[in-house]
Amino acid sequence: MLVIHDLHKNYPEGDQTVSVLKGLSFEVRSPARIGIVGTSGAGKSTLLHIIGGLDQPTSGKIMLDGEDWQALPENRRCRLRNLQIGFIFQFYHLLPELTALENAMLPALIAGLPPAEAKQRAANGLKQVGLVSRENHMPSQLSGGEQQRVAIARACVMRPKFLLADEPTGNLDETTGKEVFQVLDQAAKESGGVLLMVTHNRELAKKMDAVFELKDGKLHAV
Ligand SMILES: Nc1ncnc2c1ncn2[C@@H]1O[C@H](COP(=O)(O)OP(=O)(O)OP(=O)(O)O)[C@@H](O)[C@H]1O
Ligand SMILES: [Mg+2]
């Protein structure tokens, strides 16, 4: 379960501050697939980064399965992020010097799994996203859709309860985008957790259980 209470995020801009999130509250119980839409600059990435522990809020509370994100000591927060959160970026963010398999193994190695098990899990993940034959390719040798599928395998390798996807299909053609979405949708169903997906694609948004618009610093049901 994800609970967000009275979340604020301000950024300094010159000698002023700009408020991006303005007392945003939101609650979702697993399993759920939630779409987030909103105009450019509305704060969608900011919100996802804060939920994923990649950025800090100015104030407010985030509870992930009863754990208060901000109150946790840094090492516990890192551990929780590693085990419970899978983050998928618009531009994949694979490590260029690692193969597809090594990229997909990373969270499992960070979690301290034995390398053989990490490798097994990553190989299974790549199989699920249809990339068995690409295990040893470098990211630069993969298409955009293939890189995004590796990123999904990486995000899912620890079977996290929270999958946060920031416009995962935004950089892909329509057909590849649909394929990538199906992989993500399947992963969310299998984990039985929460999928939060930012998308500009109304057709994909319709396939979610619920859609919210981020507007004026808050989420509104669409
Ligand atoms: N590190 C930062 N420092 C200052 N301002 C920032 C920072 N990050 C984001 N912003 C500002 O916060 C606002 C929200 O940005 P954000 O990236 O969350 O928007 P978004 O809804 O994801 O937009 P897009 O659809 O274009 O990805 C923007 O006005 C942006 O300029
Ligand atoms: Mg964004």
Tens-place pLDDT, residues 152-208: 999 999 999 999 999 999 888 889 889 889 989 999 998 899 999 999 888 899 999
pTM for the model = 0.95
User: Which residue has a Cα nearest atom 17 of ligand 1?
Assistant: 45
Residue 12 forms part of a structural domain: no
Residue 200 forms part of a structural domain: yes
User: Which residue has a Cα nearest atom 30 of ligand 1?
Assistant: 41
pLDDT for position 135: 96
On the question of pLDDT at 70 being above 90, the answer is: no
Q: CB under 6 Å to ligand 1: residues?
A: 11, 20, 38, 40-46
45 CA distance to ligand 1 middle (Å): 7
Q: Which ligand is nearest to the CA of 37?
A: 1
126 CA distance to ligand 2 middle (Å): 26
Residue 24 forms part of a structural domain: no
Residue 79 forms part of a structural domain: yes
pLDDT for position 172: 87
Number of domains in the chain: 1
Residue 15 forms part of a structural domain: no
Mean pLDDT, rounded, for 132-155: 96
CATH number at residue 183: 3.40.50.300
Please choose from 9, 36, 44, 89 the residue to mutate so as to test ligand 1's pocket, defined by most ligand atoms within 8 A of CB.
44
Residue 206 forms part of a structural domain: yes
Structural domain boundaries, residue 198: 31-56+74-221
Residue 22 forms part of a structural domain: no
Residue 64 forms part of a structural domain: no
User: 3-state secondary structure string, the chain?
Assistant: CEEEEEEEEEEEECCEEEEEEEEEEEEECCCEEEEEECCCCCCHHHHHHHHCCCCCCCEEEEEECCEECCCCCHHHHHHHHHHHEEEECCCCCCCCCCCHHHHHHHHHHHCCCCHHHHHHHHHHHHHHCCCHHHCCCCHHHCCHHHHHHHHHHHHHCCCCCEEEEECCCCCCCHHHHHHHHHHHHHHHHHHCCEEEEECCCHHHHHCCCEEEEEECCEEEEC
Percent of the chain residues past pLDDT 70, beyond the cut: 100
pLDDT for position 165: 97
